[in-house]
Structure 1
Amino acid sequence: MENVCEKLTLLNYETDFCSTGKPPWPLLSLTYFAIPSPTNNQNEQFFYFTSLTAWLLGKAGRNFPAPQQFDDPNATCTNILTELKALGFATPSYAPAKLKQGFGEAVCGVLEGLTDLVFERSGYKFQKPAYKEEPEIQVEVVDEDDPSLGTAAGGADPTKIDDNVEADDGDVEEEAYITQATPTKPSATAGPAGRSADDAGGAGDDDTLIASNIDPEAWRQEVERVAPQLRVTTVADAKDWRSHIEQTHQYYKSIGASFPETKTALEKVAFGVEDSVEKLATWEKYINHQFENLTSEYRAAREQLATVQEKYNINAEKLAEKTNELARISEQLEAVKTTMEERGETISDTSPLVKIKQAIKTLRAELQQMEVRIGVVGHTLMSKTIKTKQQSAAASPGDDEDSDVVL
């Protein structure tokens, strides 16, 4: 918290933040967020923390509206932790309810982290302090054996301190304020300066300097009036061992005062409990004796039930095994059925036969076309051969009689 106060002072929070409040925010003390509020006003302390956090988030570059005094504290704490996570802070190990109390380690940690982030974002750097060079002090060394240095006047050594100093008494000082001192007359042996011979050592009569003309009764009345306002009330720390000892003594006294009555009441309760326990034991023995036959029958029935239950468990295990085996066989049967259906569909399918017939028809048509082409080609070749024969016969007529025409 002390570091937070110093860093906020460097950020000029007195003028930039405190003056924005209506009424203006008070300046922070070194323990404001470290301990609970002395006036037990936790709401005001939490509102100060949330407003200061919103101002620091704004300085860090986040648009976080300042929460109102009567907003939901749980929602406000959750929003603050969300903004801190968005700024890059690690997820805290404490719950958001720790911030709701308005003081403690979590609150101071959030404020210190935000101030450090603001300094980092603004480029502010802390430097080492520069100390001014102090001029060297020249010390004269005095020789103690120098005969020119004598002792002080009167033969006393100035380096020695007189130990014969009387302590002032508080009662004498108080009486000096409430009684009127009468000035002493100069002695007959007074010197030219108007002092007595006893004052030659330098100790004068100073009673006239502290004499007062105030009425003692009026002084006492004023003291009684002002005394209650001057009392300092200190709040006892819960961890103080003295307060623990005082509380222990108080508890010991209260326990000692209430112990006799409590002991008598407890003895009566113990006597009543013992009597009730004896009666219950007697009734239990009587009931066990009266219902002994039923108890034996019940035991036999329980044993028979245990036997039947064991058989049931064994049969249940066998049934589970058979059920698993049935499920496995059913899966295999389904697989076989699926295979058979696929094969049946393949066998009953006539589409390949239809395709073969269509292919045969196509081949026959192509064969007919090929035969026609072959006939045309044969006729053309025969015509060519006849023409060739005729031409050769016309060229040699004698040979036509001996030549045979082969068609």
Structure 2
Amino acid sequence: MAEEAAGGGGVKRGVAGGDRDRDRDRDRDRDRDRDRDRDRDRDRGRDRGRDEEVAAERGPGAAYHMFVLMEELLDKLKLLSYEEEALRRHNMRPLSRHYFALPTNPGEQFFMFCTLAAWLITKAGHPFEQPQEYDDPNAIISNILSQLRSFGRPVDFPPSKLKAGYGEQVCYVLDCLAEEALKYSGFSWQRPAYPTEELEEEEITEDDAELTLHKLEEDVVVKLSRKKPVKYTCIQGLGANMPEENEVFPEEESDNEEDFLDLNVLKGQTYRSDMNDTPKHEEILQSTTDAVEWNLEVERVLPQLKVTVRTDNKGYLDKLHNEISRTLEKINSREKYINNQLEHLVQEYRSAQALLSEAKEKYQEGSGGVTERIKVLSEITEALERVKQETEEKGSSMTDGAPLVKIKQALTKLKQETIHMDIQIGVMEHTLLQSKLKEKSNMARDMHAAMIPEATVGAY
């Protein structure tokens, strides 16, 4: 019993030691996961800081570049009829103007990004399997970036930028794929066709005729100071000088040329007109104008009084083009100057980038070995768990006293049966002995009886 108790205690100590090792392994795994999460948060913070530095270097408008890129992407998707071919097939809602520029639902945005990317790659002529909801996101992103590189597009950002499902990188990838799809479909951008505006002619009433004629006279005087002289004739009853019907105003040298008043010529012309009109004021005191001739003259001159203003956008566009060209030249010269000044820093940055790529390759190789060792460790852990379970089962069976009680009962029963058998054997031996003694006595009696008659016969 003491040995059994000692064996049971050893098994219990072994089970307790196994539980302690299991708890220690669990704590070690928890610490490893916590360190991994801390490293991931540190990398995410470093990436965010790098993005802010890049945005600061690019200028204050870099933060809004993704909104412009998203609007251009939406226009290209509409040209490709994405609502009928992509969204209706997957039962999705149409995109808003800033869908991939702002974070709303990262899971939904990432699935929409993968769906549109696969559809655009297929539209661009490259077969691509439609991703499912439970596929590995790293594998999907890797396949999309490999297809983007096959189109000759540069990829200078980490793949983790696409896992969020929004941002400038997501808009950039979809915009590049949309351009490739448009090229494959034969679409080409054309110059904008501006509509021709129909000029509305203003009708001049009879009440405003005198005012318009007076204004036209002033314009003619201003033009005379700069152009060739024009022959004028007096219009009866109007009191103003107008060109004859067959005479035409000289055209302006340029559409964009502004009218400037020559004050000296205008002053002399006004002085001469005042000197000539001095005796006429006395004649106007009594009107001799015929109303019918007045109306006929107004109807004749009225078509020449219509002023039309043409809106010409060509000059504004040329001016805007020249300003943009000068600005681009300044930017290019400034970039060249900065590149020349920072050439050594650029070389150092390139060498650091090369070292970083080598370190990343080594890290990937090491991470591959770590994954293999983790698999081996998991297999060993499973085998250890099975051995521990078997040990616990055997220990529990050894500490159980029911089999021992059964054995004791069986031994007691065997002893009782042995005693009973011994008694039966003794009885049987005694009975056999009595039978042998009885048989022996009978044999002796028979022999004695046989010997007595022979003696008597001899005596006679």
TM-score bucket of the superposed structures, by smaller chain = 0.3 to 0.5
Question: Rg larger in 1 or in 2?
Answer: 1
What TM-score, normalized to structure 2? 0.29
**Which one has a larger percent helix, Structure 1 or Structure 2?**
2
What TM-score, normalized to structure 1? 0.33
Using CA pairs under 8 Å that are at least 6 residues apart, name the structure with larger relative contact order, 1 or 2: 2
